[in-house]
Chain A
Amino acid sequence: MKRYGTLIFASGLAFLLFVMFAALPLGAPPMTVGHAILDQAASQVGAANIVTSVVLAYRGIDTLGELSILFAAASAVGLIMGHARHDKPAGAPGGFILRAGVDLLYPLILMVGFYIILHGHLTPGGGFQGGVALAAAIILAVLARPGDLPSHAALSWVEGLAGAGFIATGLAALAYGHAFLTPLLTGERLGALVSAGTLPVLYIAVGLKVGAELASLLSRFTEEAAQ
């Protein structure tokens, strides 16, 4: 009964929000920055995927903020979950179907993840999506064989170096007299794999950082659950 009450409350809230939004002029935003970016992004940044040029070039500091938020969340999980206890036996190994499926899919998912990261400036996707795919591959391996967990030290090193690489790439722009995180070396080769200057470097850093962070976060959950 209480559950249906919650449902009625939620529908009432949705109705109120709908009434509020019905009074707003939807579909006609009073901003013109979108059109300016659509007109200039290809020639200014040189990335065929305009979303990437917004995420990494025009709004690069926002992306750095997102990375910091993810880092804070992963650190909080690490603090709450505490240290892994190696004296306890690891969890049960996965069944035959899971193990055989992981053997087959693990390299494919890793490849898709790296593809999405490396082609972030050309096709939809990028560091965040590809990093999540990498983390999914690692977690699948952990679920199939809980005995050989990835070492948290190695994942932390990858994560830290990738984060430092992102900031170093941003600082390199300062050395050339530009603002922090300004894309460098943007050439004329729109649509080529090696194009858009430092944007692929930034996305590789983002992808490795997100992948290592999420893999470490989720493997903590499986470790704790194994006890």
Chain B
Amino acid sequence: MDWLDLIVVVLVALILTGAMATLLLENMLGAAVASALVSLGVSVFFVLLRAPDVALTEAAVGAGLGGLLLALAAKRLGLWRIEVQQEEKQS
């Protein structure tokens, strides 16, 4: 059981760090990624708690589309830009 406890401790640290980073980061894209990280940690928790259905939903919706939706909304509001345009102009 020791390794399981270790995984739980690492997960809790990951989730708390992600949640704090979501609150404190100035960069909106970084905050969206941090919130997706929280969902990823929570989904691993659901696997450990033997709820694989909920874990799948949490991973797909929370970590996947939720983070993407936040990032796209931030982009729509002009809070971050893709750097690719400059790269295309140079080439």
- Please tell me if A6 contacts chain B, counting CB pairs below 8 Å: yes
- Bound together, the chains give a CA A124 to CA B50 distance in angstroms of 11
Which residues of chain A are near B85, meaning CB under 8 Å?
92
Which residues of chain A are near B82, meaning CB under 8 Å?
91-92
The answer to whether B84 and A95 touch across the interface, beta carbons within 8 angstroms, is yes
From residue 52 to 87 of chain B, which have CB atoms closer than 8 A to chain A?
A: 52-53, 55-57, 60-61, 64-65, 68-69, 72-73, 75-76, 82, 84-85, 87
CB-CB nearest in chain B for A133: B60
The answer to whether A218 and B68 touch across the interface, beta carbons within 8 angstroms, is yes
- Please tell me if A135 contacts chain B, counting CB pairs below 8 Å: yes
- Please tell me if B5 contacts chain A, counting CB pairs below 8 Å: no
- Please tell me if A126 contacts chain B, counting CB pairs below 8 Å: yes
Which residues of chain A are near B69, meaning CB under 8 Å?
218, 221
Q: What sequence of 0s and 1s flags, for each residue 21-49 of chain B, a beta carbon within 8 Å of any chain A beta carbon? A: 00110000000000000000000000000
- Please tell me if B2 contacts chain A, counting CB pairs below 8 Å: no
The answer to whether A51 and B53 touch across the interface, beta carbons within 8 angstroms, is yes
Q: Known contacts being A51-B53, A125-B53, A128-B57, is A95 close to B87, with CB within 8 Å?
A: yes
- Bound together, the chains give a CA A139 to CA B68 distance in angstroms of 9
Of A218, A221, A224, most buried by chain B (CB within 10 Å of CB) is A221
The answer to whether B60 and A129 touch across the interface, beta carbons within 8 angstroms, is yes
- Bound together, the chains give a CA A6 to CA B84 distance in angstroms of 36
- Please tell me if A222 contacts chain B, counting CB pairs below 8 Å: yes
- Bound together, the chains give a CA A227 to CA B56 distance in angstroms of 34
CB distance from B66 to the nearest CB of A (A): 10
From residue 81 to 121 of chain A, which have CB atoms closer than 8 A to chain B?
A: 91-95, 116
- Bound together, the chains give a CA A68 to CA B36 distance in angstroms of 26
| Binding site secondary structure of chain A | helix
CB distance from B31 to the nearest CB of A (A): 12
The answer to whether A6 and B56 touch across the interface, beta carbons within 8 angstroms, is no
From residue 1 to 24 of chain A, which have CB atoms closer than 8 A to chain B?
A: 3, 6-7
From residue 121 to 162 of chain A, which have CB atoms closer than 8 A to chain B?
A: 124-126, 128-129, 132-133, 135-136, 139
CB distance from B42 to the nearest CB of A (A): 15
- Please tell me if A31 contacts chain B, counting CB pairs below 8 Å: no
List 16 A-B pairs, Cβ < 8 Å: A6-B23, A91-B82, A92-B85, A124-B52, A124-B56, A125-B52, A129-B60, A132-B64, A132-B65, A135-B65, A136-B60, A139-B65, A218-B69, A218-B72, A221-B75, A224-B76
* Shortest beta-carbon contacts, A-B, top 6: A124-B52, A221-B72, A132-B60, A129-B56, A51-B53, A225-B76
B residues near A (Cβ < 8 Å) are: 23-24, 52-53, 55-57, 60-61, 64-65, 68-69, 72-73, 75-76, 82, 84-85, 87-88
Extra inter-chain contacts (14) besides given A124-B55, A221-B75, CB under 8 Å: A49-B53, A92-B88, A93-B84, A124-B53, A124-B56, A129-B60, A132-B57, A132-B60, A132-B64, A136-B60, A136-B65, A221-B69, A221-B73, A224-B76
